[in-house]
Amino acid sequence: MQPRLNHTWEDIKARLESKGSTPELIDQFQRCIDFHTFAAPGLLVGVYMVDYALELLNPPEGEKVYAVCETMKCLPDPLQVIAHCTTGNHRLRVIPIGKFAITVNGPAEAPYVNGIRVFVDGEKIGQYPTFALWYTKDPLFDPRTRGIALIDEIIDAGRDLLSCEKVRVKVPQKWPWRSAICNICGEMVPNNLLVDGACADCRSQSYYEKVAY
């Protein structure tokens, strides 16, 4: 019989309970895993990050939270599930800087607002050797032999992998716009997204090619 390569949800739940995790945090893990469709290591770290950031921000009950995510990998999902920040509701900005970090803040009318930034601290990961191998993309990390140990280390570490800082966040300004027609493709777009009359799709930023039916 081949060894299991991944934890089941029951394995993860049992380990979270053994670490004294609250029912609320365990529920957050389950909802995020269901949303993401599997228990990716980055997702699990992200649950701890969002939970920590919201605790530090401590927004009033019912107040909207806004977030910036510095990577497209895994981390946007716990922000969507736990903090209800999505790109669709304009409360989540994903900026692909490449850092495993998030910033959360409350609503603001001014150009700047105080927020909390939480990130994986490179000076702390050495305490968790399997996580360090995975996080630094070390070729010695083999998910077939170390995948379960990685999840165990993430749960055992919890917030110990993280650091936080108070920051001032630039608030995106809302500019008035009206519909306009791209002079190349003829499709309608907001006029503030046109450059010399051309939309981004026609300025070599298209993600598709047209095909005949």
Residue of 72, 73, 28 lying closest to 51 (CA atoms): 28
Strands, E, within the chain: which ranges?
66-69, 92-94, 101-105, 112-120, 162-170, 179-181, 188-190
Q: Model pTM? A: 0.90
Label residue 132 exposed, middle or buried (CB < 10 Å: 0-12, 13-18, 19+): middle
- Residue 4: band (very low, low, confident or very high) from pLDDT cuts 50, 70, 90: low
How high is the pLDDT of residue 107?
A: 94
How high is the pLDDT of residue 172?
A: 84
Label residue 174 exposed, middle or buried (CB < 10 Å: 0-12, 13-18, 19+): exposed
Report pLDDT digits (tens) over 162-202.
Answer: 999 999 999 988 888 899 999 999 999 999 989 999 998 99
| Radius of gyration in angstroms for the set of CA atoms belonging to the chain, rounded to a whole number | 21
Report pLDDT digits (tens) over 10-53.
Answer: 999 999 999 999 999 999 999 999 999 999 999 999 999 999 99
How high is the pLDDT of residue 2?
A: 45
How high is the pLDDT of residue 1?
A: 42
Structural domains of the chain ordered from first start: 9-170 (3.30.1330.130), 175-213 (no CATH)
The amino acid at 132: A
